[in-house]
Amino acid sequence: MKDIGYIVIFICFFQVAPLAAQTPYIMIDPGHGGEDPGAVGCGLEEKNVNLETSLNLRQLLQDNGFDVIMTREEDVYLTLASRTDYANAQRVDRFVAIHTNASSPPSTGVETFCYYTASTFSFDLRDKIQNEMLSIWQLRDRGVKTAGFYVLKHTVMPATLSELAFINNCTDDALYLSDSTELSRAAEAHLWAIQLHYGEDPEKTGQIKGFVYEYQESNPQKRERESHILLKHNNN
């Protein structure tokens, strides 16, 4: 009976703690590209915002010991099927799609998705991405959601899709999406979420002070802008 008990414990350990078995292999999917610009607004095209954020995220992940590939590294068109086929063929551990939102009339906020019947790993990574994005961008929390997006449905590994902000909201969201520094911060938020998902302790470059995220290196202009955005949002 003791031997059986040890076997059960051993099996359970590998069921709940598979994340540390090997170097995580992450695929980043910058949505749209080439002839498909995605959402447009405020002088921006979604395909470019997605790609810049994804390239930043790839570098951060590589710098922190992750193996990373991307569905696209430049402005090219890819079908949805080619993206998921590539991910499945590469047998990556996680699939992280980066997108930008739009609506009519323009809305605001951050939301993150996984598939309806996804694994608990998908839900966990989705929730962590949402939390970390909200810690760096003072936009409305639109919540964590499920959807039947093609890349979530047809990938065999845990997968998420991030809607960073609304590209056609020129007053609030596009201020972030048009700023390369802010896109770097969005990539950093995704890095932190992935690290937390894998049980690592992120070394964050800034800290929460009240409701405004401040870099440890002083940047009064950015703090003033974010404070304005937050106050405006809270008054709506």
pLDDT digits (tens, 9 = 90+) for 143-175: 999 999 999 999 999 999 999 999 999 999 999
Domains: count for the chain: 1
**Is 227 contained in some domain?**
no
The CA distance from 28 to 141, in Å, is 23
Give φ, ψ of 221 to 5 degrees: -60, -45
Q: Is residue 59 part of a domain?
A: yes
Assigned domain for 220 exists: no
In a domain, 210, yes or no: no
134 assigned to some structural domain? yes
Q: What is the CATH number of the domain that holds 119?
A: 3.40.630.40
Nearest Cα to 136, choosing from 39, 213, 47?
Answer: 213
pLDDT grade for 13, boundaries at 50, 70 and 90: very low
Give the largest CA-CA distance in the chain.
Answer: 69
Cβ–Cβ under 8 Å, residues 70 and 94 = no
DSSP result, 141-191 = EEEEEE---HHHHS-SS-EEEEEEEETT-TTTHHHHHT-HHHHHHHHHHHH
Exactly one of 52, 111, 132, 163 is catalytic; name it. Answer: 163
Q: Is residue 30 part of a domain?
A: yes
Identify the burial level of 21 via C-beta atoms within 10 angstroms of its C-beta, where 0-12 means exposed, 13-18 middle and 19 or more buried: exposed
* Residue numbers of the domain that contains 68: 19-204
Span 54-73, pLDDT tens digits: 999 999 999 999 999 999 99
Domain assignment present for residue 41? The answer is yes
Peptide bond between residue 37 and the one before it cis (omega within 30 degrees of 0): no
Does residue 215 lie within any of the structural domains? no
Q: Determine whether 163 is an active site residue.
A: yes
Cα–Cα dist 147/126, whole Å: 12
